[in-house]
Structure 1
Amino acid sequence: MPVGEKIAAVFNVVILTVLSLSIILPFLNVLALSFNDGKDASLGGITFWPREFSLANYAEVFSNPDILSGLKITLFRTIVGTLLSVLLTAMAAYALKKKDLPGRNVFTLLIVFTMLFNGGLVPYYMVLKTLHLTNSIWVFIIPTLYSAWNIILIRTFFQSIDGSLEESAKIDGANDFQILFRLIMPLSLPVLSVICLFNAVMHWNDWFSGVFYVNKETLRPLQTILQQMLTSAEAMRKNLSMNLGAADPRLSVTGESMKMATVMVSVLPIACIYPFIQKYFVQGIMIGSVKG
């Protein structure tokens, strides 16, 4: 290997190592703080291992009876919303890649237009209210079914697939639905898995919708409940600290330590799923399946 390539390889390894550590080390620090006694953690000096191991932070988080209800709502919207979004987005992208689609350019222009301009929060809420989506679990799913960026991304990927594959399928008698679901989508697993992950993370992390679009406690997703718990817990800890002093045993769980526990509850499910679909991020599309 030439000297220049060796230097470039070493440089790449160093840069990637530094970037990896910049992500892993803070994560380990948050994990350690979440398992540490809150009062002890407030003294500082905790790095990557708990100094006084405690499950009180997690017990405080899961002591809320609404947690299980919020988890069900979050799982439902994440699974159903992600699957429907990927399915419908792929269907729209496949239609838009057809050069003989009537009004194809107009539809594309309208889709791109939504990426440039936003109607604002108040008109958006009025639309949801008019469609009777507020205070409904579908307010988390229907408005997020389509993304202009995702449609364009998938359409571009579909266009990169050799057209002779589709022509061969048509000769064999396959219709558009069969071509899409049996040929195009299996070849597009890399891009579809990325879109799937993006949608799942969006649904899992969204707390905003649960605050502004639903009033029923039973419809609030997990992230909204955790955010409200964190806010109220912080206020309660400050009140206890001012009125009761540090001797109160409940101060073993502080607002800061509880924050770390809520972060871990929010992050771990997605972090556990990612390794199973990571391979699709680097897997290229099948090349050379059809000889020229």
Structure 2
Amino acid sequence: MSESMQTSKWARLGFHVCLFLLCLAIILPFMHILALAFNSGKDAATGGIWFWPRALSWENFQEVFKQDNLITGLGISVFRTVLGTLLGVFLMAMCAWALTIPGLPFSSQITFFIFFTMLFSGGTIPYYLVLSELKLTNSLWVYILPSLYSVTNILLLRSSFKQLPMSIVEAARIDGMSEFKIFMDIVLPMSKPTIATVSLFTAVGHWNDWFAGSFYVRKAELKPLATILQEMLTRQANLADVLLKAGSGSSAYQQLDSVEITGQSLQMATIIVVILPIVLMYPFIQKYFVKGITIGSVKE
């Protein structure tokens, strides 16, 4: 018995050591990002900054918040994230529930068609032409309508719904409850972990998406926050080349040396600004997220 307890003790110790190393692997890169974000860009360019700023400065964040249309972009990002998540999760849940109903005609063919779209796409140019024909380009709806459905999320919801106690659903049908009322009053409340997980995936996708605003929208006032910050980083990355081409000899390098904000430190400040809302939201749904992500991993 003592030998078994000793083995168990070493096993727990090994588990805690591995968990500690995993936490360090997650925390240290984030500390490095914070150190560079709060450090002077000119000083950061010399290197040697790891987990604590050497020359504390707010210049990087000031540069981020000086961008044109930043408040408008923030409003657009919030609008598309909230509306896109609500509509997307609701419609994906309806689709997933329909695929679990016994006796649905052509259910296997519909499931295969949905899965097939995850493997192949028409390409960027045909996709743009479709959006243009539908009058979605240069519109707020280009951020929401094309991304209402995600095959991965539909399959995750479908797997979760299949594990619900169907006896409750059958009893509700016998009592005359409509399918929509069953879906709203029974299915959704019993699937909170999976709904929270899919909502987090969808919200993060909307919030971090810069591609749609960069390629499908030309109006500056319709660009989301992620696109505005990405374009700012692109301009900052090209600043050195512009200064060197504008001047010649030592004068160009003097102009370059006078730049206090560099691309790397500005990029880290941008990362902090973009991920902060998601980081603040995650603790409230963590308990649902951990449970929901494991749905379907164990068969009883």
TM-score by length of 2: 0.88
Alpha-carbon distance in 1 for matches of 2:102, 2:258: 66
Match of 2:69 in 1: 66
Q: Deviations over 1:134-164 (max 9, x none)?
A: 1111111111101122111101110101111
Q: Identify the range of structure 1 (82-91 vs 64-73) with the bigger mean alpha-carbon deviation.
A: 64-73
Q: Say if 1:284 and 1:216 are closer, same or farther in 2 by CA, change over 3 A.
A: closer
Instruction: Find the residue that maps to 1:251 and give its secondary structure.
Output: coil
Contact 1:38 1:252 in 2 (8 A): yes
Task: Within 5 Å, give how 1:68-217 maps onto structure 2.
Answer: 68-217=71-220
Deviates further, 101-110 or 232-241: 232-241
Determine the structure 1 residue equivalent to 2:279: 271
| Shift, 1:4, TM fit | 3.9
Residue 56 in structure 1 maps to residue 64 in structure 2 = no
Secondary structure at the aligned position of 1:113 is classed as helix
Correspondence for 2:296: none
Q: Secondary structure at the match of 2:24?
A: helix
> How many residues are treated as equivalent by the alignment?
285
Q: Distance in 1 between matches of 2:252 and 2:216?
A: 38
Superposed CA RMSD? 2.1
Hey, what's the Cα distance between the residues in 1 that align with 2:195 and 2:70?
31
1:280 aligns with 2:280: no
Residue segments in structure 1 that go unaligned for 5+ positions in a row: 286-292
Which amino acid is the alignment partner of residue 9 of structure 1?
Answer: R
Conserved 8 A contact 2:97-2:158: yes
Deviates further, 157-166 or 117-126 = 117-126
Unmatched runs of 5 consecutive residues or more in structure 2: 245-249, 294-300
Q: Are 1:93 and 1:154, in contact at CA under 8 Å, matched by a contact in 2?
A: yes
| Counterparts in 2 of 1:263 and 1:282: CA distance versus 1, 3 Å | closer
Identity among equivalent positions (%) equals: 49
Give SS of 2:158's match: helix
Per the alignment, in what secondary structure is the counterpart of residue 164 of structure 2? coil
Tell me whether 241-250 or 127-136 shows the greater mean CA deviation: 241-250
Residues 90 and 49 (structure 1 numbering): CA distance in 2 closer, same or farther, change over 3 Å?
same
Distance 2:196 2:289 in 1: 8
Cα distance in 1, alignment partners of residues 72 and 257 from structure 2: 29
Relative to structure 2, which stretch is displaced further, 166-175 or 105-114? 166-175
Change (3 A) 1:247 1:108: closer
CA-to-aligned-CA distance 1:112-143 (integer Å, 9 cap, x gap):
11122221111111111111111111111111
Deviates more, 1:157-166 or 1:63-72: 63-72
Q: Which secondary structure state, in structure 2, belongs to the residue aligned with residue 275 of structure 1?
A: helix
Give 1:2 shift.
3.6
Normalised to the residue count of structure 1, the TM-score between the two structures is 0.91
